């Protein structure tokens, strides 16, 4: 006997309970298979995009996690070997900045603490707060394997980072060099192109006159948007064919303010149309100038320090902030009469995505991955491999599929134009680069792959005076390795001896062989290049060296980090506006969950999620799905109550039907056969929709089934069969209850991936403490196989008849409770539809759902009082019962309303000058309305008068 559910549905309580239960019982753990195990059937692997340790859950996470959880639960219930792997990212800059702020508040600083103490402090912060976001995930019921939770700075993942670096270095794919990088003066580190946000801003274009050496009174005028960089000018370039400047070929200029002689160089890269056609060349502060400088063998003079203050190379301007220096320089040039015209100028300004500070292109020494370099003759580069990974191979299959497909183009376009990846960051928090500088020979020592110990002497001169590089690696370097590193790559010997582990070795662990490639990545567009592209680059690169389980060479299709990429949409507010703190329209998922329950919020997101469509999150919708949950809850209570009542009179439900697919055939009553067929149809559709990422269609199909078919129709009809009276047909009641309970149980399984909490609560209650599995999430997912079109047709005819009768009753204002007699005439032109038979077979249902008593089909119905719907004529036979008190109230209300309208109209018409000023048609309309209202008032008064005086 199912246990009692509380009367009211209270999501908070039950969700807390089950969320805790799922984690405690480790229901979703997927242990590593043992070496002897049979290969897993249909493994489904999915990596959680690791949130930053500094992160808090936002609506985007909630959508992303809902989509992942639905698919993961669906696969698990279908019997696939399912693994959803969670973790957090150490988030280099973000975390360092956050802890630095804390230190400032405490009156100290990173520098005062020193590197080691600072790192310790960050670890301490991470242990205390860094799991907040995962705790939120646990509460939201994400069905991940918590036993595998990782942190990108964990020991084993750090080993992978070091191995990847050393392999690439010794393959000649990592180099160190001085280049102009995007420098953020606030974060004081190089940042990648992707971390720079470009926006059009209004600035100025200043013309500055550079005196020609040895030609008194001769100048060459340049134009610049950043005059402070002139301190680092080493040349001025002109186009070789620019006729305006032919006379200056071979001449030199005197750099104003610093009085340094600089050459005029000829380069066809110079645009004759921009500015004056003469370009100052500052190789240390502009990537194009740097390239030009290389071509012409020019020196580079860096004039700014890490904070973008002018350094010693800037002469009198040393120590000034770049913008203070700019003002001073312009004033000084003006005083020297070297400042020419000043134009307003729109320019693209790059700002740091994090600090919003203006990025300063600045020459510095950094580490790079040569992504387009081929490591050996005939071996493709990293970028070429990453392109092949999304391009159809010889078999016509693409190793990686993008959904929506348009992102494939975006990805390819970026990959085809990719620059070398600057992987070094001037931070203290992160994976420190495993390279050592020699003080004696100034060369670099990088340990060999597989070598666990740090080098103690220089590889080149054997000097012991070596120190480790202070830079750390870009955060995306480690997260790009996750698909391989979480499954044990690089399988190194843990005993400390160099090389591969003898157990797992080059074949990789069983874990790797089972779960790699992962099946699916669900992520946002914003990290398509940062993360998705880097995982493809690094994943393919390193996995290709791990043979397949049978020892054969791993093809590209098995080396990719994932087979499918699903790029999810944005969650916007109800007005389709992007959520932003500035606009104050940010919806906190935790608040919404508190208000409506996780299930309702998940269902809201699912019901609107489809590839490429942004979601306009509307709370009213969530309220609606809270009502949906409530409807299911009440259905459960109704069913349980009837099972209990049946038990009291000795009727036992056949529980052997539970856990399978509902299957009912003749001679069962129509509604039983119909709900079984409906269920199969729904289940088949939902599976199909989920296979195509149509979360919205899947959710809406289940909703229609549960609310419409199951609750509104089936449950109403089945009440007829639940007869517990003396002498009733027990067999029929038992059969009805069995179908009812088993269909309901199967429906809960169908809904489980979308609403895991309420389905768990009710499903457990069905089994009253002895469920066949520990959780509904481990039970089988229904799939539809069975069709019964005769039943479906019959039911839909009956439904439309009932709907018609209901709507006509409403039209005729027939009291809801009044049962009426009904005459029907079928005017269908074809004879295929037998109205009489339909009614004959289903009179009980018709009587109950349409509130009718005697129903007869006659050949023809004559006016008056005949109503027609479709091909059926209806005539209702009933005595109009009048509810006198209600009628009195209605008439009194009508009279009051009419009197008020009349007073208003008369007031308007009576205003002096109104009839003269207002348009004639308006005055006419008002007069006519007034006349009608007088008439209606008289009628209502008469009707009220006619009501029996003493009737209550
Ligand atoms: Zn910054
Ligand atoms: Zn050396």
If you measure from the C-alpha of residue 485 to the centroid of ligand 1, how many angstroms do you get, rounded to a whole number?
29
Does residue 878 surpass a pLDDT of 80?
no
pLDDT of 41: 72
241-258 pLDDT per residue, tens: 999 999 999 999 999 999
Ligand nearest to the CA of 186: 1
- Looking at residue 319, its pLDDT comes to 95
Output the CA 97–ligand 1 centroid distance in Å. Answer: 10
Q: What is the pTM of this model?
A: 0.82
Reduce the DSSP state of residue 374 to 3 states and report it. coil
Backbone φ and ψ for 840, nearest 5 degrees, come out as -55, -45
pLDDT by residue (tens digit) across 677-692? 999 999 999 999 999 9
* DSSP type of residue 222: E
Question: For 284-298, 315-329, 374-388, 656-670, which range has the lowest pLDDT when averaged over its residues?
Answer: 656-670
The three-state DSSP-derived secondary structure of 227-275 is HHHHHHCCEEEECCCCHHHHHHCCCEEEECCCCEEEEEEECCCCCCCCC
> How far is Cα 475 from Cα 95, in angstroms, rounded to an integer?
11
128-167, pLDDT tens digit by residue? 888 888 888 999 999 999 999 999 999 999 999 999 999 9
Tokens (6 digits) for 871: 């091909």
Q: What is the tens place of the pLDDT at every residue in 592-643?
A: 999 999 999 999 999 999 888 888 999 999 999 999 999 999 999 999 999 9
Structure tokens at 633: 């809850």
Looking at residue 864, its pLDDT comes to 61
Helix, strand, coil content of the chain in percent (nearest 5): 45, 15, 40
pLDDT tens for 768-817 read 878 999 999 999 999 988 888 889 999 999 999 999 999 888 888 888 88
Q: Which residue shows structure tokens 């015209």?
A: 341
Ligand nearest to the CA of 357: 1
345, 204 Cβ separation under 8 angstroms: yes
Residue 213: pLDDT band (50, 70, 90) is very high
C-alpha 357 – ligand 1 centre gap (Å): 6
> Using one digit for the tens of pLDDT, what is the confidence trace for 360-396?
999 989 999 999 999 988 899 999 999 999 999 888 9
Helix axes 619-648, 730-751, angle to 10 degrees: 150
pLDDT of residue 666: 67
Burial class (CB in 10 A: 0-12, 13-18, 19+), 351: middle
Q: How many A from CA of 578 to the centre of ligand 1?
A: 23
Q: Which two tokens stand for residue 152?
A: 């990108």
- Mean model confidence pLDDT for the chain: 90
Order of strands across the sheet with 339-352? Answer: 219-224, 196-211, 339-352
Token pair 């007699």 is found at 821
Of the candidate ranges 32-41, 168-177, 479-488, 851-860, the one whose mean pLDDT is the lowest: 32-41
What separation in Å is there between the alpha carbon of 455 and the centre of ligand 2? 12
Residue 715 is classified by DSSP as: I
pLDDT of residue 701 exceeding 90: yes
Is residue 567 a contact partner of residue 521, using CB atoms and an 8 Å limit? no
Rounded Cα distance, 490 and 193, in Å: 29
d(CA 934, ligand 2 centre) in Å? 109
User: For residue 45, what is the enclosing H or E element?
Assistant: strand 44-47
pLDDT mean over 50-54: 87
Q: How far apart are CA 173 and CA 538, in angstroms?
A: 12
The pLDDT, as a whole number, for residue 665 is: 67
Question: Ligand 1 center to residue 426 CA distance, Å?
Answer: 12
pLDDT in the model for residue 920: 84
Residues 6+ apart with CB under 8 A from 684: 783, 784, 785
Ligand having the closest approach to the CA of 437: 2
The C-alpha atoms of residue 47 and residue 144 are separated, in whole angstroms, by 9
pLDDT of residue 952: 47
Whether cis (ω within 30° of 0) applies to the bond prior to 235 is no
Report the candidate in 879, 880, 841 with the shortest Cα–Cα distance to residue 857: 841
Ligand 1 centroid to residue 96 C-alpha, Å: 12
Q: Which of 333-337, 379-383, 781-785, 829-833 has the lowest mean pLDDT?
A: 829-833
Q: Write the DSSP symbol of residue 216.
A: T
How far is residue 221's CA from residue 359's CA, in Å, rounded to a whole number? Answer: 27
Distances (CA, A) of 143 to 21, 137, 161, 823: 12, 9, 28, 57
**Ligand 2: centre distance to CA 435 (Å):** 13
Specify which residues 362 forms β-bridges with: 181
Per-residue pLDDT band for 903 (boundaries 50, 70, 90) equals very high
User: What's the pLDDT score for residue 496?
Assistant: 65
Distance from residue 460's CA to the centre of ligand 1 (Å): 37
Are residues 874 and 824 in contact, defined by beta-carbon separation less than 8 angstroms? yes
Sign of CA dihedral 449, 450, 454, 455: negative
| The pLDDT of residue 950 | 61
- Choose among 662, 829, 642: nearest CA to 742: 662
- At 412-426, the pLDDT tens digits run 999 998 988 989 998
pLDDT digits (tens, 9 = 90+) for 498-539: 777 777 777 778 889 999 999 999 998 888 888 999 999 999
Burial 352-380 (b: 16+ CB within 10 A, else e): bbebeebbbbbbbebbbbbbeeeeeeeee
């Amino acid at each position: 006997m199912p246990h009692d559910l509380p009367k009211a549905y209270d999501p908070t309580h039950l969700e807390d309970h089950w969320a805790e239960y799922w984690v405690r019982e480790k229901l979703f753990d997927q242990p590593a298979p043992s070496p002897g195990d049979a290969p897993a059937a249909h493994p489904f692997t999915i990596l959680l995009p690791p949130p930053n340790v500094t992160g808090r859950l936002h609506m985007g996470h909630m959508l992303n996690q809902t989509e992942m959880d639905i698919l993961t639960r669906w696969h698990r219930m279908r019997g696939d070997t399912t693994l959803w792997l969670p973790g957090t990212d150490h988030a280099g800059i973000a975390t360092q900045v956050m802890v630095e702020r804390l230190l400032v508040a405490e009156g100290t600083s990173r520098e005062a603490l020193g590197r080691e103490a600072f790192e310790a402090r960050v670890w301490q912060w991470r242990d205390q707060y860094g799991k907040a976001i995962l705790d939120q995930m646990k509460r939201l019921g994400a069905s991940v394997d918590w036993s595998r939770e990782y942190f990108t700075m964990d020991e084993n993942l750090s080993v992978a980072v070091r191995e990847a670096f050393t392999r690439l270095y010794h393959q000649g794919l990592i180099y160190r060099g001085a280049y102009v990088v995007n420098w953020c003066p606030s974060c004081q580190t190089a940042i990648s192109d992707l971390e720079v946000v470009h926006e059009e801003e209004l600035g100025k274009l200043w013309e500055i006159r550079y005196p020609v050496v040895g030609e008194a009174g001769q100048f060459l005028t340049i134009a610049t948007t950043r005059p402070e960089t002139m301190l680092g000018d080493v040349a001025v370039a002109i186009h070789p064919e620019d006729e305006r400047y032919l006379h200056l070929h071979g001449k030199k200029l005197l750099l104003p303010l610093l009085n340094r002689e600089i050459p005029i160089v000829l380069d066809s890269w110079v645009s004759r149309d921009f500015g004056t056609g003469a370009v100052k060349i500052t190789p240390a502060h502009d990537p194009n100038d740097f390239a030009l400088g290389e071509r012409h063998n020019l020196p580079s003079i860096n004039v700014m320090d890490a904070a973008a203050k002018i350094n010693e190379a800037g002469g009198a301007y040393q120590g000034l902030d770049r913008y203070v220096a700019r003002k001073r320089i312009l004033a000084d040039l003006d005083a020297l009469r070297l400042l020419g015209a000043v134009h307003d100028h729109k320019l693209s300004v790059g700002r740091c995505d994090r600090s919003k500070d203006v990025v300063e292109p600045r020459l510095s020494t950094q580490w790079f991955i040569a992504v387009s370099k081929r490591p050996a003759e005939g071996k493709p580069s990293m970028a070429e491999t990453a392109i092949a990974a999304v391009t159809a191979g010889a078999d016509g299959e693409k190793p990686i599929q993008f959904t929506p497909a348009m992102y494939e183009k975006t990805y390819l376009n970026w990959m085809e134009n990719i620059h070398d990846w600057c992987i070094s960051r001037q931070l203290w928090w992160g994976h420190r680069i495993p390279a050592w500088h020699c003080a004696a020979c100034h060369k670099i020592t990088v340990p060999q792959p597989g070598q666990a110990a740090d080098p103690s002497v220089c590889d080149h001169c054997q000097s012991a005076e070596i120190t480790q590089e202070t830079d750390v690696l870009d955060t995306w370097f480690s997260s790009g390795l996750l698909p391989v590193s979480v499954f044990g790559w690089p399988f190194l010997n843990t005993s400390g001896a160099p090389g591969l582990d003898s157990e797992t070795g080059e074949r990789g662990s069983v874990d790797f062989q089972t779960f790699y490639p992962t099946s699916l990545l669900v992520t946002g567009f914003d990290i398509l290049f940062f993360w998705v592209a880097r995982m493809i680059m690094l994943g393919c690169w390193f996995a290709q060296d791990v043979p397949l389980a049978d020892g054969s060479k791993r093809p590209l299709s098995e080396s990719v980090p994932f087979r499918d990429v699903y790029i999810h949409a944005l969650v916007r507010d109800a007005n389709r506006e992007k959520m932003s703190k500035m606009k104050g329209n940010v919806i906190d998922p935790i608040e919404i969950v508190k208000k409506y329950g996780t299930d309702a919020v998940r269902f809201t997101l699912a019901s609107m999620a489809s590839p490429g469509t942004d979601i306009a999150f509307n709370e009213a919708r969530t309220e609606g799905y809270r009502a949906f949950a409530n409807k299911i809850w009440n259905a459960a209570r109704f069913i349980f109550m009837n099972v209990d009542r049946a038990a009291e009179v000795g009727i036992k439900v056949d529980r052997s039907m539970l856990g399978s697919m509902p299957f009912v055939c003749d001679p069962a009553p129509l509604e039983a056969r119909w709900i079984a067929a409906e269920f199969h149809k729904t289940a088949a559709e939902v599976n199909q929709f989920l296979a195509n990422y149509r979360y919205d269609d899947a959710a809406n199909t289940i909703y229609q089934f549960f609310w419409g078919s199951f609750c509104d129709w089936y449950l109403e009809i089945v009440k007829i069969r639940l007869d517990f009276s003396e002498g009733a047909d027990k067999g029929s009641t038992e059969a009805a209850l069995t179908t009812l309970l088993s269909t309901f149980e199967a429906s809960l399984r169908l809904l489980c991936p979308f609403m895991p909490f309420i389905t768990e609560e009710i499903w457990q209650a069905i089994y009253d403490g002895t469920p066949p599995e520990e959780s509904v999430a481990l039970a089988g997912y229904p799939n539809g196989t069975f069709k019964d079109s005769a039943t479906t047709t019959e039911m839909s005819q009956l439904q439309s008849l009932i709907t018609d009768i209901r709507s006509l009753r409403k039209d005729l204002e027939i009291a809801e409770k009044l049962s009426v007699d009904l005459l029907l005439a079928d005017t269908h032109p074809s004879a295929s539809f037998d109205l009489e038979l339909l009614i004959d077979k289903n009179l009980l249902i018709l009587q109950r759902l349409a509130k009718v008593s005697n129903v007869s089909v006659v050949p023809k119905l004559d006016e008056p009082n005949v109503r027609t719907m479709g091909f059926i004529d209806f005539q209702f036979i009933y005595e109009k019962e009048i509810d006198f008190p209600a009628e009195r109230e209605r008439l009194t209300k009508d009279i009051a309303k009419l009197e008020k309208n009349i007073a208003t109209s008369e007031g308007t018409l009576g205003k002096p000058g109104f009839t003269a000023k207002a348009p004639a048609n308006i005055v006419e309309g008002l007069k006519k309305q007034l006349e009608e209202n007088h008439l209606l008032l008289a009628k209502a008064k008469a009707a009220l008068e006619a009501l029996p005086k003493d009737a209550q």
